[in-house]
Amino acid sequence: MELIDLVPNSMSFRVITTLDIHAEAEIPTTFTGRVRRHDGDYIAYVAWYKDGQLNNPGRHHPAYRRFRPNGRLKYELFYTHGLLHDPGATTAAARGFFADGRVHYEERYWAGKRSDGKDGTPAIRKWRSDGTIRHELHYKDGHRLSDDQVSMVRRMP
C-alpha cells in the first residue's frame, strides 16, 4: 500500500511517499521515499530510498533501521547514494545494538569502504554486554591494517 505523508520541514512541509510491503520485490527499481517492511504483525525495517538507492533522509537519520519483534532497534545503517558512509565524525555508518539498547558494535565507512575515522577511531569496534571493548580492527580504503601498519599510520602527520 502506498501512502503520502506530509512532514514538517523547517517552515514548510515535505511530501513523503511511503510503501508498506511484505516482500522486497514490491519496491520499484527507481523508488524515492520510505519503505516499511512488515513481518507478520510488526515492522521488520524502515528504509529510505532516493532514485532506487538507499540514502539517508537527513544528516542525523539513517537510511535503514532494522527492528526486533518487540519493536526495539537491532541495527541502523547510514547510506549516501547507495554506499555505506559515516554521516559525521562522531557517528559510524553501521551500529548494532544489544536487546537492552546499548551499542554492541560500530563500523565506519567512507564511500562504501571500511576506513578508520579521521581521528584514528578503529573502523570496527565491538563491545561485550558489560560495556568493555571486545575487539577493534583498523582499516584504510577497505583494506584491513596489521598492527605494524596501524602504528605507522598514527605516526604520520
Whether 99 and 61 share a structural domain = no
Query: Average pLDDT, stretch 129-154?
Result: 85
> Is residue 75, in this structure, part of any structural domain at all?
no
Residues near 94 by Cβ (< 8 Å), separated by ≥ 6? 75, 76, 77, 78, 84, 105, 106, 107, 109
pLDDT at 58: 87
Report residue 133 CA to chain centroid gap: 21
> Is residue 150, in this structure, part of any structural domain at all?
yes
Q: Which H, E and C letters describe 24-56, residue by residue?
A: HHHCCCCCCEEEEEEECCEEEEEEEEECCEECC
The position carrying cell 599510520 is 153
pTM strictly above 0.85? yes
| CA 156 – CA 45 distance, rounded (Å) | 42
> Is residue 17, in this structure, part of any structural domain at all?
yes
Whether 153 and 89 share a structural domain = yes
pLDDT at 152: 55
Query: Average pLDDT, stretch 143-152?
Result: 79
> Is residue 105, in this structure, part of any structural domain at all?
yes
> Is residue 155, in this structure, part of any structural domain at all?
yes
The residue among 67, 96, 115 that closes a domain is: 67
- Is pLDDT of 156 > 50? no
101-130 pLDDT per residue, tens? 999 999 999 999 999 998 889 999 999 999
Residues near 123 by Cβ (< 8 Å), separated by ≥ 6? 107, 108, 109, 114, 115, 116, 117, 137, 138, 139
Domain limits for position 35: 1-67
Whether 54 and 99 share a structural domain = no
- Is pLDDT of 154 > 90? no
Query: Average pLDDT, stretch 72-84?
Result: 97
- Is pLDDT of 8 > 60? no
| Segment holding 6, helix H or strand E | strand 2-9
Q: What are the distances in angstroms from CA 17 to CA 33, 52, 130, 141?
A: 5, 13, 41, 35
One-letter amino acid identity for 74? K
> Is residue 77, in this structure, part of any structural domain at all?
no
User: How many domains, in total, are found in the chain?
Assistant: 2
One-letter amino acid identity for 136? E
Give, in degrees to the nearest 5, the angle at Cα 103 between 47 and 118. Answer: 85
- Is pLDDT of 146 > 80? yes
- Is pLDDT of 38 > 80? yes
Model confidence at 1, pLDDT cuts 50, 70, 90, reads very low
Whether 89 and 156 share a structural domain = yes
